[in-house]
Amino acid sequence: MSTSTTSDIDLTVTPNAAVEVKKFMEAEGVTGVEGGLRVSVQSGGCSGFKYSLVIEDKHAEDDFVLNGDGFHIFVDPFSAQYISGVTIDYVTSMQGSGFTFKNPNSTGGCGCGSSFTA
């Protein structure tokens, strides 16, 4: 099984988001040794694309594997073209809490904060 790593993908997970990712990993019994956070872009959402975050036990054969703060970040080849430059944060407000995405490459978005146009 080959692992692709790249420095071409510039993905930032803020300290707040990293704390939450580790909580989810612990709740699912996934360790940072092989497991981590899958960050992907999928067709759909109200603006054409939507982000997806999933805790996984290990990477897929064709994934790019990035180092997070105590966990791996897995990005599939399709998503890689849309992920570079993205900052993933975790915010808490009166409206609720959740992960947010700041993508300097998006050309549009909507109020949900989870979909974008590229």
Domain with 67, as residue range(s), is 12-106
> pLDDT per residue over 41-72, tens digit each?
988 756 678 889 999 999 999 999 999 999 99
- Under a CB-based contact definition with an 8 Å cutoff, are residues 111 and 45 in contact? no
Q: What CATH number does the domain containing 17 carry?
A: 2.60.300.12
Q: Is residue 4, in this structure, part of any structural domain at all? A: no
Q: Is residue 58, in this structure, part of any structural domain at all? A: yes
Q: Is residue 118, in this structure, part of any structural domain at all? A: no
Q: Is residue 5, in this structure, part of any structural domain at all? A: no
Q: Is 33 helix (H, G, I), strand (E, B) or coil?
A: coil
Listing from the earlier edge strand, what are the strands of the sheet with 96-102? Answer: 12-13, 87-93, 96-102
Q: For the chain, what is the domain count?
A: 1
CA-closest candidate to residue 52, choices 105, 101, 106: 101
| Residue 74 main-chain phi, psi, to 5 deg | -105, 130
Name the pTM for this structure.
0.82
- Under a CB-based contact definition with an 8 Å cutoff, are residues 74 and 37 in contact? yes
Q: Identify the pLDDT of residue 107.
A: 62
Q: Identify the pLDDT of residue 115.
A: 47
Q: Is residue 34, in this structure, part of any structural domain at all? A: yes
Q: Is residue 84, in this structure, part of any structural domain at all? A: yes
